[in-house]
Structure 1
Amino acid sequence: MNKNLILILIFFTTNIFSQSIKTISAIQGKDSDYFEYEDYDENQNPIGKLEFLKGCSWYCGGSVTEIIVSSELKEQNGIHYSPKNAHDFDKNTAWIEGKPDYGIGEFIEYRFDFKNYNGGLGINKILLTNGYKKDKTNWKNNSRVKQLKMYINDKPYSIINLLDSFEIQTIEIDKIMFPSNKMTKLRFEILDIYKEDKFKDTAISLLMFEGIGVH
């Protein structure tokens, strides 16, 4: 085959593929919009720890059936870094990938399997706290995600550009509906990172959702 024709075919194939995957940029949010203290005393001083999505949210009806990851950092001093930490409503825990480098190519995958319901549940926004948000020292010492690749049922959906921010950020996505009695998988693969001050380990403290069909 003519070399010029091969180059043209490669160019158009690459161009079509790249156009099919859109790029989404995260929007800076405020922790105060999503985190609230357990209670307040008579002088309005906070009591207890900060709670994420306190009160009613999409999770009043929506849920995640299973979370799997390609790797996780081994437990250290009684602290674990499992995938459930990214979906436990707690900013003080985190999923941290377990590769010896920065974790490029590692992923976290959410599986939704709604049984015995008539449909109508879906998500349209991702809520993400980047890095290890336990405190500023841990956040700086560990790497954060700069770019994710999102898949729906193993098919590429979008490239997500994240902010190197201690506070929460949101990602607006198209409406993704969950059918009944059929599993839907959302995978988030690490493509690039913001480098750490001390540890190469890349962390996500919260990756959760807002959606429709609950209220």
Structure 2
Amino acid sequence: MLGNFSMTGRMAAGAVVCLLVGMAFSAMAADDPNAQPVPNSTRELRLPDATSEPDMPEEAEPDMPDEAEPVFAVRPARSGESCQRQIFTVGSATVCVSSILEPQLGSRYGSVNLTDGRGSTAWVEGAAGDGIGEYIAIEFDAPVSISGMEVANGYGKNADLFEKNSRVRNFSLSTSRGDRQSIALRDERDWQTIGMSLPEKTKWLVLTISSVYPGWKYQDTAISGLDLR
């Protein structure tokens, strides 16, 4: 019984001593400003902010297919064409005609007369007969949109020559995009405006004589002026 009491006393005394030493150490740490805090063995886990969202990679723009370039047919050409550079309201172009009447009495009948702004000159085709199938081909420097044309029909130098020579009754129009139209002209010397419905731009345009108003003396068919807008 005494032995047990002595052992219990010794254990209690040891506990008291440890408590006193710990209290003394804490007091010394509080008095020393340079004392380092004892690290906590349990690490704090840093959790992500609940309101923040992780960075997501930006979605790449889908690749769009390149717009297809328009396809323009090659203009059919006839051997012996005569071509000259000319300017229309829609732009500059090379004008080729299938034939030209030979000069007579100092007058020339080339395609340049179509855009010279003078009613006293004319393009006159030079084929046999009334000129059915003869044409004016206009090749533009760049594709253009055309909504209409202005035409001075016949040989407009004077009323006598107008009646003597043939005039265009109908043109057959074709373009590089495959458009086909019939263009009807009036039998008069004044400028006439013709509306056209071409849905797409064209690189070239061909006006082919398909019918005429016959002249009472000559079969040559004439056009004194032409513009495209």
Amino acid at match of 1:207: L
Amino acid at match of 1:98: G
Which position in structure 2 is the counterpart of 1:104? 132
Q: Does 1:153 align with 2:168?
A: no
Distance (whole Å) between structure 2 residues aligned to residue 171 and residue 206 of structure 1? 13
Distance (whole Å) between structure 2 residues aligned to residue 87 and residue 177 of structure 1? 24
Q: CA deviation at 1:78?
A: 1.8
Decide which of 63, 77, 92 is 2:91's aligned counterpart: 63
SS of alignment partner, residue 67 of structure 1: strand
Decide which of 163, 172, 177 is 1:140's aligned counterpart: 163
- Aligned positions of 1:68-83 closer than 5 A: 68-83=96-111
Q: CA deviation at 1:178?
A: 4.8
Distance (whole Å) between structure 2 residues aligned to residue 68 and residue 132 of structure 1? 19
Distance (whole Å) between structure 1 residues aligned to residue 199 and residue 141 of structure 2? 13
Which position in structure 2 is the counterpart of 1:15? none
Which position in structure 1 is the counterpart of 2:218? 199
Equivalent pair of 2:177/2:200 in contact (CA under 8 Å): no
RMSD between superposed Cα atoms in Å: 2.0
Distance (whole Å) between structure 1 residues aligned to residue 128 and residue 220 of structure 2? 8
Which position in structure 2 is the counterpart of 1:174? 197
Equivalent pair of 2:165/2:215 in contact (CA under 8 Å): yes
TM-score by length of 2: 0.57
Which position in structure 2 is the counterpart of 1:87? 115
Percent sequence identity over matched residues? 32
Name stretches of at least 5 consecutive residues in structure 1 with no aligned partner: 1-57, 211-215
Equivalent pair of 1:131/1:166 in contact (CA under 8 Å): yes
Equivalent pair of 1:146/1:164 in contact (CA under 8 Å): yes
Q: CA deviation at 1:175?
A: 4.7
Deviations 1:58-110 (A, max 9, x none): 73xx4232110111101112211001211222211111000121000000111
- Which structure is larger by alpha-carbon Rg, 1 or 2? 2
Amino acid at match of 2:208: E
Aligned residue pairs, count? 142
Deviations 1:22-43 (A, max 9, x none): xxxxxxxxxxxxxxxxxxxxxx
Which position in structure 2 is the counterpart of 1:126? 149
Higher RCO (CA-CA < 8 Å; seq separation 6+): 1
Amino acid at match of 2:194: I
Q: By percentage of residues, which structure has more strand?
A: 1
Distance (whole Å) between structure 1 residues aligned to residue 177 and residue 208 of structure 2? 11
Distance (whole Å) between structure 1 residues aligned to residue 119 and residue 139 of structure 2? 21
Q: CA deviation at 1:146?
A: 0.6
Which position in structure 2 is the counterpart of 1:187? 206
Q: CA deviation at 1:207?
A: 1.4
Amino acid at match of 2:214: K
Name stretches of at least 5 consecutive residues in structure 2 with no aligned partner: 1-87
Distance (whole Å) between structure 2 residues aligned to residue 125 and residue 156 of structure 1? 14
Distance (whole Å) between structure 1 residues aligned to residue 177 and residue 101 of structure 2? 24
